[in-house]
A and B are shown apart, each in its own frame.
Chain A
Amino acid sequence: MQIKPSINRLGEKAILLQWDFNIAPENLNWLLSIKQILQKHVIESKVQIINTYNSLLITYNCSIENIYNDFNALKSYDFTGISYEDFKGKLYKLPVCYDVEFGLDLDELARRNSLTASEIIHLHTQPVYTLYFMGFLPGFLYLGGMKERLKISRKKEPRTSVLKGAVGIAENQTGIYPNSSPAGWQIIGNCPVELFNAHTENPCPFKAGDQIQFYSVSKQEYDKIKQQIKAGKYILKPESHA
């Protein structure tokens, strides 16, 4: 694995660190370990650091002077000795209702990939997905780890709107629409849990590096969870896992 990133300025207010490696959970954890260390020990000023699959972007609010010092500090920083085990994400289990009321494209997916509905649900709920980062829409999770047998191309004609919470598949990715939105993904279910709320201090319950697993709920259970959320009684807690 490549240890030393390429380090470049991205405009006057940002520094981009890029590694030449594949999309993999251990690479993500390695990036997030480095992010922690940079935030604690290397970068002097208050900055925002975000990650994608193979990059860290350090963004400054203003100060040009600090970016110059930090840039030089990063250039000579020794990235060896950082372990991917330095970062540990949390595991969350999220309910999804795969009822036909929500699973608008279950039939199409079943037909095109020669699967039954229960096989689709099994394949979708089995993996522990890795949350790489959020993008596209506020609170939209880029999840890795979907089963190859669920892979399907996007809708030929995107829908002008899908429900908040719609669970979709496109190519080898699966995701949840955090709000109602135009959508090109194949929709297989709906997750009742609120994934993004701009009016709370922590607008999204998850962070890059967390793990997500889905479990299937009936329409009745789905409605019950919705009611609990409405009453403010639903609390999403991470699993206590190894």
Chain B
Amino acid sequence: MPKVEVKKAGLYTTIQDLGRLNVAQYGVPQSGVMDSFSAKKANLLLNNEADAAVLELTMAGPILKFQSKTQIAVCGAIFDMYLDEKPITNAKAFQVNSGSVLRFGGLKKGFRSYLAVQGGFKTAVVLESRSHYPKITSASRLVNGDELEIDSLENTVIASARVNFEDQELFSNTIPVFKGPEFELLPQKLQQELFIENFTLTPAGNRMAILFKELLKNNIKGIITGPVIPGTVQLTPNGNLIALMRDCQVTGGYPRILQISEMGICKLAQKKPGEQVLFQLSEFY
């Protein structure tokens, strides 16, 4: 199998697909792409399956060298990107040749980007997914010098598709949420505050959880440890709001006051520390 050489890994680059959907019973986190909207879009551009493995790049992207001809597409956060030192754009399929080098430069907008390659990256499947996670996959992120297997494609026909749905929605600061199981335990004043206040992302965020700076003083009690999923927003006794993300544990003991929508998780994944979001209450249809 031909390979992609990781010349420089970038700040935090992982292999992700749509995650492990049937192993929560063993305490295994779901994992998978933080922004599934952008990752699916990148795969769509190449006619890949929606769950083909992509690279998730965070804030500073990698330098990659391709050992064979293939096609790539990048969606999500907008970086300066150079294919053999020629600028290329987001949300469009490009042909790369054997020996081509893809280099990511400055970050223009958003926080996480998805690089899809035709057929998907072929790293090891563990528990039905290629998503990196410590102690599940042998690696938990890319490092310089890694080699990633891809399909060999001799007769590549370039898809001329360009996906034209706008990313304005992705980069807006409103996060659609539903009421969480313990929402009604909040006093009415706090219930209102949740949807009026702007919440600022702290630098402590990662693939497990995003923490917010603003505190919501409360005296609601903890719950008997119960199920949590990506997008569950917990409120700690200290007043910290914690939005659980894709690598979160499967259970938790803090009150679950909100549940972020799938699109809301994608939007939150595109926010940098220091940026602000506004939660917007949605109803189930």
Contact = CB atoms under 8 A, between A and B. Distances in A.
Nearest to B29: A138
Interface residues of B, number: 32
Nearest to B232: A10
Contact of B21 (A8, A11, A59, A137): A59
Interface stretch (B70-78, B221-229, B269-277): B221-229
A146 to B, nearest CB: 16
Interface stretch (B81-89, B201-209, B256-264): B256-264
A61 B36 CA distance: 13
B135 A134 contact: no
Interface in A1-19: 8-14, 16, 18
B60 interface: no
A140 interface: yes
B27 A61 contact: no
Interface in B128-172: 135-137
A120 interface: no
A230 interface: no
A179 B135 contact: yes
A31 to B, nearest CB: 12
Interface of B is mostly: loop
B226 A54 contact: yes
A203 interface: yes
B40 to A, nearest CB: 11
Given A10-B227, A138-B136, A199-B126, 9 more contacts: A8-B181, A10-B181, A10-B229, A11-B262, A14-B229, A52-B225, A59-B229, A135-B225, A198-B127
B28 A203 contact: yes
Contacts of B181: 8, 10, 16, 18
20 contacts: A10-B229, A11-B259, A11-B260, A13-B262, A48-B24, A48-B25, A50-B227, A52-B227, A61-B21, A133-B27, A135-B27, A135-B249, A138-B27, A138-B28, A142-B251, A198-B127, A198-B137, A199-B126, A204-B26, A208-B25
B231 A135 contact: no
A50 B24 contact: yes
B225 A48 contact: no
